[in-house]
């Protein structure tokens, strides 16, 4: 349940956020000048200021690493930060780039590991997404292999190429994926520490009370209202 911060805690939070916000902006400036390595160094330095804010620059970091052709390096660094505190916040970015860089099998293994360490509906949704994709790809591969042309003929009818069990599993996982996505799309929210306003995006200025730097960088999962408005 949301409760406002004490005056002292609120002041400390704002001071930290001002420093982090400045660092993010300096990284943006460096990137705009074409200094991609410099931008990466700026954003990575947030770990020394307050590691809780690293997820706010995770997407920026990965795009910069991709631009330099070093996506695997950036991904390995972010994965090393997925501890008990940052795991849920980094999950979405790391999962997407794990798919792109290492493929579906590694993405599935990553989500299984995350669920064992920190079970959450968001991690479960990503695991089912990955399993559904892998099952669908397996059926497509079976069909493509079975109907590969040999001379002037094909080996099998494409309708019957995939096994019924594999096709049914892919369909079931797809249905479960769609259900989970619909239920969790707006589940994780950032919460203003002053007024309790909840939002999908991180705001430096709260849309609810208009106060600056009142959001904690960690999202919470909730299925219902918890004392504050939301958007």
Residue 201's φ and ψ, nearest 5 degrees, are -100, 155
What pLDDT score does 16 carry?
Answer: 54
Each domain of the chain, given as residue ranges in start order, spans: 189-221
The tens digit of pLDDT for each residue in 154-163 reads 545 544 545 7
Neighbours of 114 (CB within 10 A): 23
Joined together, the tokens standing for residue 52 give: 């809780």
Average pLDDT over residues 90-110: 93
Query: What is this structure's pTM?
Result: 0.76
pLDDT level of residue 59 (50, 70, 90 thresholds) = very high
Average pLDDT over residues 109-134: 90
């Amino acid at each position: 349940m949301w409760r406002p911060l004490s005056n002292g805690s609120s002041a400390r939070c704002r001071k930290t956020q001002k420093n982090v916000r400045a660092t993010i902006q300096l990284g943006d400036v460096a990137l705009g000048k074409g200094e991609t390595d410099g931008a990466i160094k700026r954003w990575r330095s947030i770990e020394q200021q307050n590691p809780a804010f690293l997820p706010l620059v995770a997407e920026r970091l990965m795009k910069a690493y991709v631009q330099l052709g070093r996506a695997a390096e950036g991904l390995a660094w972010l994965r090393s930060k997925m501890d008990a505190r940052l795991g849920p916040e980094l999950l979405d970015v790391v999962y997407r780039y794990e798919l792109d860089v290492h493929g579906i099998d590694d993405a599935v293994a990553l989500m299984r590991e995350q669920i064992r360490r920190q079970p959450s509906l968001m991690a479960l949704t990503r695991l089912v997404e990955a399993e559904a994709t892998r099952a669908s790809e397996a059926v497509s591969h079976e069909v493509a292999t079975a109907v590969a042309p040999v001379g002037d003929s094909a080996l099998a009818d494409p309708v019957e190429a995939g096994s019924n069990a594999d096709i049914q599993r892919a369909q079931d996982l797809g249905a479960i994926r769609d259900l989970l996505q619909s239920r969790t799309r707006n589940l994780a929210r950032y919460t203003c520490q002053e007024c309790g306003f909840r939002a999908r995006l991180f705001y430096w200025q709260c849309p609810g009370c208009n106060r600056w730097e009142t959001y904690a960088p960690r999202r919470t999962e909730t299925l219902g209202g918890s004392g504050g408005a939301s958007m």
